[in-house]
Structure 1
Amino acid sequence: MDHMGIISLIPPILAIGLSIAFRNVVISLGVAVFVGILIIVGGNPVDTSLSMFTDYLVAQATDSYNAGVVVLLFFIGGFVALVERSGGGAALAKSTTKFITTRARAQFSVWLGGIAIFFSDLGTPLILGPIFEKIFDKVRSSREKLAWILDSMMSPVAVLIPFIGWGIYIMGLIADAFENEGIEASEFDTFVQVIPFQMYAILTVISVPVVIFFKADFGPMRKAERRVLETGQRYWPDSTPMRGENTVVAEEVQKPSRAIVIWLPLAVLFITLFGILGTMGFPGEQVAGGDFRAALSTAYLFAAITLVVLMLAFKVNKIGAIISTYVKGMEKMINVVMILILAWSLGSVLTEMGTANFIVEMLQGNVPGSIIPALIFISAALMSFATGTSWGTFAVMIPLAIPIALGLDAPMLVSIGAVLSGAICGDHCSPISDSTILASTGAGSDHIDHVKTQLPYALTNGSIVLVMFIIAGFTASPYTVILGVVLMIAAFVLIARFTRKRDGVLGEARDRTGAEFDSASIAASGADRVSDQHVETNPKGS
């Protein structure tokens, strides 16, 4: 195999190491690309700089495929910013609150809201959190529980959807890796086929209703729920909520909005997208990546126009402010575009250095290809946990995972799914992740309390997923995820049941008290207001 030997590992090691050290993906990828080119051109820094800009960065940015991805990302950024500013998501969530009379309904409503606001992963906690925190206080459910549900409905939902920024970003990385390896396959079809192997995301999303309806709280989460249920106290004595009651967590609209402001533009988006794709033979025939991006760009444009008209009609904002919001949304995508261009460039550098060939040569005969997806999952999870970024992990791991899977005869789709699952798992567990921090902020929870209560669920799901990737490495069956879901339900229910049994009769009595409270919580005169004072008894470790 053609490769430059062990020095071909320097760029990916630099990218990972610098990401962990500085938690800045752009700088880390930039340095890795520069050093890789420096090795390729023979150590001349001037030639390296010239080659980096002309042969890699500019070449990647001006490639017709890549340029289409960049334009689409800008369209998506502008639309998402308008949706968040419109207040439609908050109006839609508020319209359902009159039906919330139990703890289970409150928690399930947040889960449904997270699915409805799939288009904005980071907007989910900032839109839903301030609305549902008061409801959770009223029905005596913990802020930690709210933060966990919000966190579970952010990146785990977004990574499953091909026509928002997450999917476009991932498909861009896959397409570039396919081109470098000479693989002729649709990145859209590949992404769709990988969805069953995004097992961590699927298990995390499904685990929320499992915990709600099977009353499967365990670990620190159970203690937090009992704290609120028994004492009415929102926080532990040493807790520090991420924000005060009057802190603004997102840009507020100037005037009340309506639910139609969100559901009608989304309807226009879907109708336009699938209407155009239908004329191309979808879903019966394969749609080219360029055609898919063109259809999606058109759909986002029409949806944005619809949204602007609605915001003006309902006087949510003036035209100048609306245009400014749209432009700011596009500007927010610049960092994503920079990461993507650098990731494409790093992929080209690694291909030229033969990094994947060197890894394959080292592993061949020593590690069976069927184990590769499990190893990829562990590597991606560790990197994402240490860096706090799933996108940065995608950028480094996908260009490596695809050629390694090819070289070692590992199942390709399973290996890509392992990268995505590992990155989301590590990000979900990491206390320095943007999504973890925003979930705490949106719920008004103490950040460390959120991490502690979420971690047992995340590690349980992660352990099950690791086993599933070992199985999928041998079978390559998309139905493996069904076994994973069954094991997750069984694990959560058994762990919760063991916890209740360990607590004894007193714990069971408290659970029954909580169930009775559910049915009468809203009507009870004393439940409308819960003291803000921290509880002085029953500490976290009790």
Structure 2
Amino acid sequence: MLEAYPILTLLPPFVAIVLVIATKKVLTSLGVGILVAGLLIADFNPLTMVTTIGQAIFGLVWVDGAVNWYTILIVAFLFQLGIVTALVMMSGGAAAFTEWAAKRIKTRRGAQVLTGLLGMLIFIDDYFNALAVGQVARPITDRYRVSRAKLAYLIDSSSAPVVVLMPLSSWGASIMGIMAPLLTASALVLTQVEAFVLAAAMNYYAIAALVLLWLTITLGLDFGSMRKQETRAIRGDGLHNPNETAPAQLTDTMPLHDRGAIRALLLPFIVLFIGVVVGMYVTGGILGDSWGVIDTLAAADVGIALNVGGLGALAIAGYYCLRYTKNNPTFQRGTRRRGTYHGAKSMLPAVLILLFAWVLADLISVMGTGEYLASVVEAMAVPAVWLIPVLFVVAAIMAFATGTSWGAFGILLPLAGEMMNAVPGGDAFLIASFGAVLAGAVWGDHSSPISDTTILSSTGAACSVASHVSTQLPYAFVGAISALVGYVLYALTESGLVGLATTLVVVVAMALVLRKVRPPLEQSTPTVATSAQH
């Protein structure tokens, strides 16, 4: 059936996404998407469907005749991070950091600035960014009643959009690896790094998303369903939607030491960062052909690197927890062990959602959803320069439907390169096509409820995935509209600067209009703002 009607390959992700938005039940929605995909692949044969889905589930631990260490290591890292968080909280490190920051950060805006800065600084990997920033910033944003949905938006908007612009990142290295043969086949005389930097300047969505992030913080932009979340948080009625299952709160299940030190929080996460960076460099050097920084990042095993950092952080956090609580009578025999258990358990919902998303992504790959969308682009008989906005839209749809930006640019970057190299004068638009594909891929990754980074950003913020998706989508659409207008202007003028300037003008103009229509909550509800400062 899929061969006769390839458009049906879009049905499973469409069903899953619509159900997530409509029901707020992520696991159920992903499960339905998995069943629909299994039925289509099996041509509606129930037994074949069970076998197909079973193979996808088995593929989480065993693929191509070998252990699937990537998924195992990512799941292990999530559990490690949950345990580290529990140990840091039990040791009093989180409380000490909150008190230290409270002396320097006096407003809700300041708490959001801290989150944005942390996201910009941790650019080595999007998974690491999404999880680490939330763990560090959450105590501060909670203190100043910043909703978990707003925190998730700040984390998500400073993870993939930052990482995709940085050559010294896991994304940058991989993207340059894909670009290399396409550059060789073209008439352009550019190194991989030069091409990446030029393509980054054409990544209008990532740039617009970062500009909107800081406009949101400085102008107090709260619109769409985010406004309801922020209003509730400011009034002290809860940091997350009471109609949805609240994320696990570790403070409800374990005692906390009240005389910890700030180093009990900072040192574990510093060790985590150093461990991840060193792990990426060493694994990249061993697995690759060179010890150059770019080459090692391209070949790095992110799963191993995350676990190197995670185990180091676990050791440091465990040491400080034992040191600060050994004389505390509240911590009796087995207390730390129970706290460790609850820390790991707090990550279980995120792990289950991630596993379901991986199974759905595998089935979507088997159906050939990405290849179908790529064939649609290839069949379009449009001038080369007008392929730029088209590639942006198609990459966005592909990443949104498949839940993976890597899959989108893995398919579309080579396709864009082949198309531009094949048409007369196409070389002039090769770099722009790279930028447009990456921009669309980041938007889809940024917005899809089945995206792993969406799930991990929600995890880092202790926010439900459904709340994160529904509150972030309006902001993502503002960035997407701005980027699309920029690409259209680029197609009209063939000037990257004009396209970028247009994108920036549009995103700023939309932000100012939104601020006028929906004034900052601190101004529109002054009594609420006053109470939020205490």
TM-score bracket, shorter-length normalisation:
0.5 to 0.7
1-side partners of 2:247 and 2:15: how far apart? 35
Structure 2: how far apart are the matches of 1:132 and 1:346? Answer: 37
In the aligned structure 2, how far is the partner of 1:48 from the partner of 1:451?
31
Residue 350 of structure 1 deviates from its aligned partner by 1.6
Asked if the contact 1:56/1:345 (under 8 Å) is kept, the reply is no
Correspondence for 2:295 among 285, 289, 296 = 285
**Amino acid across the alignment from 1:301:** L
Q: Which amino acid aligns with 1:17?
A: V
* Residue pairs, 1:261-280, within 5 angstroms: 261-278=264-281, 280=285
Q: Secondary structure at the match of 1:99?
A: coil
Q: Is the 1:121–1:154 contact (alpha carbons within 8 Å) kept by the matching residues of 2?
A: yes
| 8 A Cα contact 1:374 1:470, kept in partner | no
Q: Specify the alignment match of 2:15 in structure 1.
A: 17
Seen in structure 2, the aligned counterparts of structure 1 residues 364 and 45 have a Cα distance that, compared at 3 Å, is: farther
Q: Which residue of 1 aligns with 2:341?
A: 324
Aligned partner of 1:537 in structure 2 is: none
Paired with 1:440 and 1:328, the residues of 2 have a C-alpha distance of 13
Cα gap change, 1:97 to 1:16, in 2 (>3 Å):
same
1:464 aligns with 2:482: yes
1:346 aligned to 364, 373, 384, which one? 364
Aligned counterparts of 1:433 and 1:273: Cα–Cα separation in 2: 20
Q: Are the aligned partners of 2:106 and 2:533 in contact in 1 as well (CA < 8 Å)?
A: no
Q: Which amino acid aligns with 2:264?
A: V
The amino acid of 1:298's aligned partner reads: V
The Cα shift of 1:28 comes to: 0.9
Could you report, residue by residue, the CA deviation over 1:319-346 in whole angstroms, capped at 9, with x for unpaired residues? 4235424643675424423432442343
1:401-440 map, 5 Å: 401=412, 405=416, 408-409=419-420, 411-412=433-434, 414-425=436-447
One of 389, 392, 405 as aligned partner of 1:374: 392
Alpha-carbon shift at residue 204 of structure 1 (Å) = 3.7
Q: Are 2:126 and 1:99 equivalent residues in the alignment?
A: no
- Which residue is 2:153 aligned to? 152
1:200 and 1:422 in contact (8 A); partners too: no
Task: State the Cα distance separating 1:283 from its structure 2 match.
Answer: 1.2
TM-score (norm 2): 0.62
Say whether the 8 Å CA contact 2:2–2:40 is kept in structure 1. no
Q: Structure 1 CA distance, aligned partners of 2:226 and 2:357?
A: 40
The partner residue of 1:359 within 364, 376, 386 is 376
Partner Cα distance (2:105, 2:7) in 1: 55
| 317, 320, 323: which one aligns with 1:313 | 323
AA of the residue aligned to 1:324: Y
Report deviation, 1:418: 0.7
1:115 Cα shift? 6.2
CA contact (8 A) 2:38 2:363 kept: yes
Higher RCO (CA 8 Å, separation ≥ 6 residues): 1
Give the corresponding residue for 1:8: 6
Give the aligned residue type for 1:310: Y
Distance verdict in 2 for CA 1:362–1:82, change over 3 Å: same
Amino acid at match of 1:13: L
Match of 1:32 among 32, 37, 55: 37
Residues 222-233 of structure 1 aligned to structure 2 (within 5 Å): none
Q: Structure 1 residues 130, 306: CA separation in 2 closer, same or farther (over 3 Å shift)?
A: closer
- After TM superposition, the score normalised by the length of structure 1 is 0.62
1:250 aligns with 2:224: no
> 1:376 touches 1:418 (CA, 8 Å); kept in 2?
yes
CA contact (8 A) 2:405 2:442 kept: yes
CA positional deviation for 1:6: 4.3
Kept after mapping to 1: 8 A contact 2:94/2:262: yes
The residue that corresponds to 2:23 in the other structure is: none
Q: Report the Cα distance in structure 1 between the residues aligned to 2:213 and 2:18, rounded to whole angstroms.
A: 30
In structure 1, give the amino acid aligned to 2:159.
A
The total of aligned residue pairs comes to 466
Please state how far the C-alpha of 1:73 moved relative to its aligned partner: 0.4
**Taking every aligned residue pair, what percent have the same amino acid on both sides?**
16
Cα 1:290/1:467, change in 2 over 3 Å:
same
- Maintained 8 Å contact 2:131/2:459: no
The structure-2 alpha-carbon separation of the partners of 1:491 and 1:433, relative to structure 1 and needing over 3 Å to count, comes to farther
2:311 to 288, 301, 305: 301
Could you say if the C-alpha distance between residues 307 and 399 of structure 1 is closer, same or farther in structure 2, counting changes exceeding 3 Å? same
Query: Quick one: which amino acid aligns to residue 99 of structure 1?
Result: R
**After superposition, where does 1:199-214 map in structure 2 within 5 Å?**
199-200=204-205, 202-213=207-218
Whole-angstrom CA distance in 2 between matches of 1:295 and 1:491 = 42
Deviation of 1:67 after TM superposition, in Å, equals 1.3
Q: Could you tell me which amino acid in structure 1 is paired with residue 361 of structure 2?
A: A
Structure 2: segments with no counterpart, 5+ residues: 21-25, 180-192, 286-290, 421-429
Residues 242 and 149 of structure 1: is their aligned pair in 2 closer, same or farther, counting only changes over 3 Å? closer
SS at match of 1:333: helix
Distance (whole Å) between structure 1 residues aligned to residue 368 and residue 337 of structure 2: 46
Q: CA deviation at 1:97?
A: 0.9
Is 2:409–2:438's contact at 8 Å kept on the other side of the alignment?
yes
Q: Distance in 2 between matches of 1:162 and 1:421?
A: 13
AA in 2 matched with 1:315 = T
Relative to 1, partners in 2 of residues 1:216 and 1:483: Cα closer, same or farther, differing over 3 Å?
A: farther
The 5 Å alignment of 1:120-269 reads 121=130, 131-132=140-141, 135=144, 149-160=150-161, 199-200=204-205, 202-213=207-218, 215=219, 234=235, 242=241, 250-252=249-251, 253-256=254-257, 257-269=260-272
Counterpart residue identity of residue 372, structure 1: V
* Paired amino acid for 2:15: G
